[in-house]
């Protein structure tokens, strides 16, 4: 029998009841007023002088937040400064060619961020370059998630909304003694409620940045500096004697070792390169290469690469000098890259292979390609490759 209107529960009410069952009665370990005051005193005293903290320009703040996703502050600063000099407004970025954008982002990683930022800029340019001033409206822009929308809304527009990223999840997990999974539905609900209760409504932007600063500099994943933490007296994880156990460590995927052969083939100032058509790094230029198992014999992998160039592209390459190996990491893949100088002896270059001057402006090169070319240039300048193509022992040891 159907329930009467008096007893039926709406989906929204059912969700509220479920959250109430999942959340503890008291999340914060102490009154919010004292905790937020201590946190803001810490921020006013200890905050780092970062370029995006010297502006209230919403566009500049959005650029910084997008760049800082899964990338360190030290790595981001030079990119941020160059990017805004070149594209100081959303409409300026919206008009940029894709190759220009990818070249400027090259080395920063997670390139889909750049494409989403340009799509968001094009949307904002339609409104006269004015970013929407609320979290909900910012969330409607392409590629702008919950955290980024809240961070920009609070910092640039002073909207009292909590921004919860990985650093904040760790700080709140330790403060509240939450040892569950912050990425589970119940974990997200718990930590977001804690962040909302703790938020300072008068200084929401500074408060959100204070939590991030605390997580980045004091409440670190390993070896947290509890003795300098402004929240130490109330912290449940510290009281337990095992702060690094909060939140519960995630099971990491097994590391996969890969051996990668790369061909560095020159014609004057130009280099033979391949334009990627698929993710990751779609649109970027890389050296022709081939992957093998970590246990592959390097010489055998090199010959497989030569055979692949002949079979797929009709190019016959003769190997010359070896370059020092380098290592590269993508997610849980640990890649050892073995580059060889080669000479094109037969065949005509066609797409997706192209002759490219890597020194020309706005060349979107992959990070590995840039590193190999830099090492090759260093080797030429220092004369560190001998006649039979073997790199000296000391060079190889540093790779």
Q: Is residue 140 part of a domain?
A: yes
Closest to 178 in 3D by CA, of 22, 396, 392: 22
Percent helix, strand, coil in the chain (nearest 5)?
Answer: 50, 15, 40
219 and 261 share one domain: no
Whether residue 373 has pLDDT greater than 90: yes
How confident is the model at residue 18, as a pLDDT?
39
The set of residues, in sequence order, having a beta carbon less than 8 Å from that of 376 and lying 6+ positions away, is 264, 323, 339, 341
286 and 317 share one domain: yes
Per the structure, how many domains does the chain have? 2
Structural domain of residue 262, as residue ranges?
257-398
How confident is the model at residue 379, as a pLDDT?
67
DSSP characters over 22-37: HS-S--SSS-HHHHHH
Q: Which of 221, 245, 269 is the last residue of a domain?
A: 245
361 and 224 share one domain: no
100 and 219 share one domain: yes
Q: Is residue 2 part of a domain?
A: no
What residues act catalytically? 65
Q: Is residue 298 part of a domain?
A: yes
Whether residue 383 has pLDDT greater than 50: no
How confident is the model at residue 354, as a pLDDT?
96
Cα 340-344-346 angle, rounded to 5 deg: 145
Q: Which of 194, 217, 245 is the last residue of a domain?
A: 245
236 and 295 share one domain: no
Q: Is residue 5 part of a domain?
A: no
* Among 24-38, 239-253, 275-289, 380-394, the least confident range: 380-394
For the domain that residue 127 is a member of, what is the CATH number? 1.10.340.30
Pairing verdict, β 270-275 and 256-267: antiparallel
Q: Is residue 141 part of a domain?
A: yes
303 and 217 share one domain: no
28 and 97 share one domain: yes
How confident is the model at residue 384, as a pLDDT?
37
230 and 264 share one domain: no
How confident is the model at residue 248, as a pLDDT?
86
CA atoms within 13 A on the CB side of 350: 8
96 and 225 share one domain: yes
How confident is the model at residue 338, as a pLDDT?
95
How confident is the model at residue 253, as a pLDDT?
83
Q: How far apart are CA 194 and CA 310, in angstroms?
A: 60
């Amino acid at each position: 029998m159907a329930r009467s209107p008096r007893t039926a529960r709406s989906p929204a009410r059912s969700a509220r009841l479920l959250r109430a069952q999942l959340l503890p009665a008291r999340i914060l370990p102490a009154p919010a007023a004292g905790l937020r005051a201590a946190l803001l005193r810490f921020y006013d005293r200890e905050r780092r002088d970062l370029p995006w903290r010297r502006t209230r320009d919403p566009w500049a703040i959005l650029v910084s937040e997008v760049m800082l996703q899964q990338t360190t502050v030290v790595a981001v600063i030079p990119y941020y400064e160059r990017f805004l000099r070149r594209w100081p407004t959303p409409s300026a970025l919206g008009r940029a060619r894709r190759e220009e954008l990818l070249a400027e982002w090259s080395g920063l990683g997670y390139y889909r961020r750049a494409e989403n930022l340009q799509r968001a800029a094009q949307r904002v340019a339609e409104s006269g370059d004015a970013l929407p001033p609320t979290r909900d409206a910012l969330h409607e822009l392409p590629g702008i998630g919950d955290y980024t929308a809240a961070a920009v809304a609070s910092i640039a527009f002073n909207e009292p909304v909590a921004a919860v990223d990985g650093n904040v999840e760790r700080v709140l997990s330790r403060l509240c003694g939450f040892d569950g999974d912050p990425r589970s539905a119940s974990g997200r609900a718990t930590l977001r409620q804690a962040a909302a209760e703790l938020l300072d409504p008068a200084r929401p932007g500074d408060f959100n940045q204070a939590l991030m600063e605390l997580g980045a500099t004091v409440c670190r994943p390993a070896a947290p500096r509890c003795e300098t933490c402004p929240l130490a007296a109330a912290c449940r994880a510290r009281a337990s004697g095992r702060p690094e156990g909060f939140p519960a460590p995630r099971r990491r995927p097994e590391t996969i070792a890969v051996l990668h052969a790369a061909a560095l083939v020159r014609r004057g100032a130009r280099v033979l390169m391949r334009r990627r058509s698929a993710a990751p790094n779609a649109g970027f230029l890389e050296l022709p290469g081939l992957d093998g198992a970590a246990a592959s014999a390097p010489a055998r992998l090199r010959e497989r690469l030569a055979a692949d160039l002949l079979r797929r592209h009709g190019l016959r390459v003769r190997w010359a000098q070896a370059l020092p190996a380098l290592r590269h990491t993508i997610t849980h893949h640990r890649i050892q890259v073995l580059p060889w100088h080669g000479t094109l002896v037969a065949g005509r270059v066609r797409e997706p292979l192209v002759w490219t001057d890597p020194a020309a402006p706005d060349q979107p090169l992959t990070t590995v390609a840039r590193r190999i070319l830099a090492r090759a240039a260093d080797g030429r300048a220092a004369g560190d490759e001998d006649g039979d193509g073997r790199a000296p022992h000391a060079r190889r040891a540093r790779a």
